[in-house]
Structure 1
């Protein structure tokens, strides 16, 4: 699959300003000591991650623990998330997993590279090791291991005759 040609140059343009503010507020709700600017960065990376998963559905991708917080915010806004999937041509399902000892830099590197193929620059500070909370600590408690890398499912075609 190729990258959708209709992607805006700024990933924030995939949602309205009000929707972006609501997503950022959802991140802040779970992380009350976080700065608003950081919550916005995390939501941006969550959007980039979903774009990459939708554009390259056969590549196993995974978010960093920090970026997962932004993705969780998207998922909680179910209608917005459904509409985003429709615009991108794929609904990206979430397969949570938690193994605090797991860290796979190859999956994160592949994910960052795939985001780049979509025309977006990943925020390197938000794609680090799950225990590197020097920049920011988040409430998300997922650490996606190889068996739960994200591969979007095609839309259900419905019953066949």
Structure 2
């Protein structure tokens, strides 16, 4: 099992957690920490398995959004992971819903060496906590993963503040 918190400094992790709390008034810091931890696991798994169809849960997506808002930090994180994990948001659409997407995503995260916080990997109707995130993601290869299957070249760190 990998410690995803080691991917960020303590200050950087705290900054992302603060963004989740700021975007979700009333959310406890320990809940936001759990959400950011799962977002880091998701990002790591997406970088490791770029051709697998994965998507974050509605709650974990809130943490991923917070990571992405810290663009310099996110660019450096993706550079360390070896791939830039792009965000492809879409409006939620029941007709596009893939009921197996979260199960598949959890399996990929576990394959990447992580233990998931299962309470945060549920469908939106069963979410542990309400969050501000209001988008869905197409779980297509390259959708919630790198835009191409190549390694993150030097332009990733240059273009994203690394």
The TM tier, using the shorter chain, reads 0.7 to 0.9
Q: How does 1:144-159 map to 2 (within 5 A)?
A: 144-146=137-139, 149-154=143-148, 155=152
Which residue of structure 2 lines up, in the alignment, with residue 137 of structure 1? Answer: 130
SS of 1:131 mapped into structure 2: helix
SS of 2:89 mapped into structure 1: coil
Is contact 2:86-2:144 (8 Å) kept? yes
CA-atom RMSD in angstroms: 1.9
**TM-score normalised to the size of structure 1?**
0.86
2:114 is aligned with 1:112:
no
Is contact 1:130-1:143 (8 Å) kept? no
Report the number of matched residues: 150
- What is the aligned counterpart of 2:54 among 46, 52, 61? 61
- What is the aligned counterpart of 1:36 among 20, 29, 33? 29
Which residue of structure 1 lines up, in the alignment, with residue 2 of structure 2? Answer: 9
- Structure showing the higher helix proportion among its residues: 2
Cα deviation, 1:14-51, whole Å, max 9, x if unaligned, reads: 00110110000000011011011000000000000000
- Distance in 1, matches of 2:93 and 2:62, equals 16
Which residue of structure 2 lines up, in the alignment, with residue 74 of structure 1? Answer: 67
1:104 positional shift: 2.3
